[in-house]
Structure 1
């Protein structure tokens, strides 16, 4: 059947292609200022009054041209009719989708207008046809390291090498091909006496008994030192792959199938990856713990630590253009997937990269609407004022609420636990720095009021959040009730010196005095001394060091 005959058949039964369509013209001519003249196969109107552009194809060879032609038609319709993207609906109808489905799926993801694919099945006598919608494939994001890592500790280098072999064997047995193993040497600066004292304190606290009551044999025990580590992370596994891996354990498989039904996408992914780790075989190690991006950042940034090797398998090995530095950055969560940390450098002339940046900012700050709005406004401002600039965006958004205050006062390098962001604009001549920080806002609730409002008055409920890094999806509300706010500032820089300071209020930049993150937090702490003191005094007795692991991962 020729394409012209197919066009005439569908034109006669246009509503059969898609209900609500009214044919306006066959072979609609659309003049264009650039390229060849265009004739749209079928030009119609739908029930929403949109311009419907129908492109027909009847073979895989012809289908390859469809996306190019649709793009051209859309731009020419916008020029000729003055139509907006929201007023255009493109339909690709084809008898063959083998060559077209994958690029069509990507096209749907990127298009700024509505588009739909339809499979056409023509009867043998060519007198009629059936139409059914085509579902786009899920677009492949590419490299995406699952943020649920695993850490294997060893007492010496030989044990580490045996452990790495065992880890690779375990992944192979489970059918996991794409993974990374980073091995570290991390010397322990503590003395045997210090390690023994820490162990006794931890055991005494767990048993709720005086330290002096512990047996002499335990008191003389010298804990081993684990200075060699294999840090592992895998490419994000699809749900169906996880279920296939855990199907070897019938009870766990049945439990997982039922459990994931009521879970969100993120909860389901985390749960299934944990299930995968809980089925044998288990790698050989002296000590094991869970890892996550902030932990990797802690080890990676440890001054006296050394990376011994980086083993890359599957996609990580095949991608020879991927430097280890980028891999380490993504292991620290700087791709924004964890919604806590993000870092990217973008040329403003690269519109596709800028568009992705805006999308990433929206995803990373989905639970921080204040900074999300500020940063999206800032990107638009830079597009207008510095269209040829290169910018670096760095965001640290821990979302830890009350624990933000606690960790800032109690942890080493405490200020690194404070949420912040910066946008550095590099432009020939003038330069600009945008900066976000926590600032004092007004009266805070008391600690008791905070506990009742967010944790039903239960300290255990607050402490439980530490098991997932202290993150609380209500952080933006907690910050306000803590008497603080997410604020944004702008420094105009000339010849390396900040010459003007502004703060963002009601979507406008207003002049202010010089500001800095430590000073802003000091002002907040001084105005909320009683609340800060009560937070520290209440949580500190329950902090046994490693129990509250929420390591900094700020820019």
Structure 2
């Protein structure tokens, strides 16, 4: 039976959707001045007074066209009836969903207009019997490397070559096909003494002699979808025995995906190695690449190998965490204003738990696009450093100052620098000082107010880089606050104006140096900052490890 006959029978049974639908018309013509006119299978109104587009498909071949049709009808209806996105609901109704589930799920995750999927059940005479609401699946096709890395160290080239094959065998045995192996050699000649000590590794060989580890295979895999991980887990009885489904269900987003990835990888067989350590983006960036390890080459596998536009530099930057997926660091140069706009969600994702800067970045993108609409761009660059634990930041700044190292490297900040022929715009975020009076701040009082009086809760956060999602609120208890600013330089007239973003708009104001407040805070709040340093020093085991 044709779709049109099923459509006519469905019109007589709109109550099947339980939405209080009232028919407006069938084969409803939608004109559009841009040429995307068409006929909506069924147009109705629901019990909230919204227009409801019903697109009916009954085979895999025809269901492929459903998303395109719905997009066309939504835009046509909006233009024709002066509607907003929230005044339209689209129902995609199909008897087959094999070909439709992925484009449907992708549409639901990316577009504003509400789209609901239904699987239609019909009897032998093709009469509609019932519908089942389709749950969109989580799609993870975009390349995201896990932030849980592994460092396999080897004494010599022969043991490393054997290790390379065993690492690949280990991945494949666990159902992981998309990964990279970065092969490095230790060479401290071009690195200063302090950094070479951090990079240097040695351990006992089979003869019980302490021998240098000269080669490293640094590896991470591309994250799969949660659905794919769960299939791997449920097909492995050894994993399934200890699998805590309730705990996994309590996690969200990348935290859930990373935990599923860890569960899958933390199983036999393990790769051959002379020594092994866990890795993570900051370690790869600071303790490996900056401390005597030289990249020899990169081996790619699976879909990563199929990507012929992916450069080695991009892989290195992603392993260093510059994509923002770890909520800490983001760095990118943009090719165009459109590229900048399309990357705004990446920047905001890096600031998922930093509501002040996240709002500032979203506003900066909108403001910049309004200002630059008619201007020719020379460059757009962005950088975000969001460690999200200002107490630990203060500790690191003090330690660096005591060792005559670069203090500024630890300071939280973001900037978006945009340059045209005539103007330079700097949108930036920084810490500013609050006026809490002249009295000294008590660290014990801060711990009581923010960490339930338990200092070990501060130290425990070091297990995942010191991240604290409540940092925006906590800093205000001891006299700091996160803020957003803009500086506009008219290059021809050499005139500079500063603006403060108040949460709604940019207001003319003096724009402070992004490092000034926290540096001044450490200089003036000496007893408080000394207490912070002593707190971390009491729990410091060295090598980046803390006891709590």
With the shorter chain as reference, the TM-score category is 0.7 to 0.9
Deviation at 1:349, TM superposition (A): 4.6
Residue number in structure 2 paired with 1:342 = 330
Does structure 2 conserve the Cα–Cα contact (< 8 Å) formed by 1:51 and 1:88?
yes
The correspondence for 1:231, drawn from 197, 200, 218, is: 218
Does structure 2 conserve the Cα–Cα contact (< 8 Å) formed by 1:52 and 1:90?
yes
After superposition, what is the alpha-carbon deviation per residue over 1:259-290, rounded to whole angstroms, capped at 9, x for unaligned? 63564135544444444444322223232211
Residue number in structure 2 paired with 1:414 = 407
The correspondence for 2:520, drawn from 523, 533, 541, is: 523
Residue number in structure 2 paired with 1:206 = none
Residue number in structure 2 paired with 1:292 = 280
Q: TM-score, normalised on structure 2?
A: 0.85
Residue number in structure 1 paired with 2:205 = none
Residue number in structure 1 paired with 2:183 = 183
Does structure 2 conserve the Cα–Cα contact (< 8 Å) formed by 1:401 and 1:471?
no
Does structure 2 conserve the Cα–Cα contact (< 8 Å) formed by 1:491 and 1:499?
no
Residue number in structure 2 paired with 1:93 = 93
Deviation at 1:234, TM superposition (A): 1.0
Deviation at 1:258, TM superposition (A): 5.3
Give the 3-state SS of the residue equivalent to 2:44 in structure 1: strand
Q: Distance in 2 between matches of 1:239 and 1:119?
A: 23
Is 2:378 aligned against 1:385? Answer: no
Deviation at 1:314, TM superposition (A): 1.1
Deviation at 1:79, TM superposition (A): 1.5
Q: What is the aligned length?
A: 523
Q: How does 1:253-402 map to 2 (within 5 A)?
A: 253-257=240-244, 260-261=247-248, 263-265=250-252, 266-299=254-287, 301-302=289-290, 304-346=292-334, 349-350=337-338, 353=339, 356-387=342-373, 389=377, 391-402=380-391
Q: How does 1:7-22 map to 2 (within 5 A)?
A: 7-22=7-22
Residue number in structure 2 paired with 1:480 = 476
Give the 3-state SS of the residue equivalent to 2:243 in structure 1: helix
Does structure 1 conserve the Cα–Cα contact (< 8 Å) formed by 2:119 and 2:132?
yes
Structure 1's 140 and 366: CA in aligned 2 closer, same or farther, altered over 3 A? Answer: closer
Q: Distance in 2 between matches of 1:295 and 1:452?
A: 32
Deviation at 1:379, TM superposition (A): 1.1
Structure 1's 120 and 494: CA in aligned 2 closer, same or farther, altered over 3 A? Answer: same
Deviation at 1:156, TM superposition (A): 3.4
Does structure 1 conserve the Cα–Cα contact (< 8 Å) formed by 2:63 and 2:94?
yes
Give the 3-state SS of the residue equivalent to 2:343 in structure 1: helix
Structure 1's 484 and 80: CA in aligned 2 closer, same or farther, altered over 3 A? Answer: same
Is 2:461 aligned against 1:465? Answer: yes
Give the 3-state SS of the residue equivalent to 1:108 in structure 2: helix
Q: Distance in 1 between matches of 2:441 and 2:489?
A: 38
Which range is displaced more, 18-27 or 355-364?
Answer: 355-364
Q: How does 1:69-218 map to 2 (within 5 A)?
A: 69-187=69-187
The correspondence for 2:449, drawn from 444, 450, 453, is: 453
Does structure 2 conserve the Cα–Cα contact (< 8 Å) formed by 1:105 and 1:137?
yes
Which range is displaced more, 247-256 or 515-524?
Answer: 247-256
Q: Distance in 1 between matches of 2:236 and 2:141?
A: 30
Structure 1: give runs of 5+ residues left out of the alignment. 200-220, 550-555
Structure 1's 498 and 247: CA in aligned 2 closer, same or farther, altered over 3 A? Answer: farther
Over the aligned positions, Cα root-mean-square deviation in angstroms equals 3.2
Does structure 2 conserve the Cα–Cα contact (< 8 Å) formed by 1:425 and 1:431?
yes
Give the 3-state SS of the residue equivalent to 1:375 in structure 2: helix
Q: Distance in 1 between matches of 2:492 and 2:317?
A: 28
Q: Distance in 2 between matches of 1:249 and 1:17?
A: 39
After superposition, what is the alpha-carbon deviation per residue over 1:329-380, rounded to whole angstroms, capped at 9, x for unaligned? 1111122211111223445652xx5564332333221211111111111111
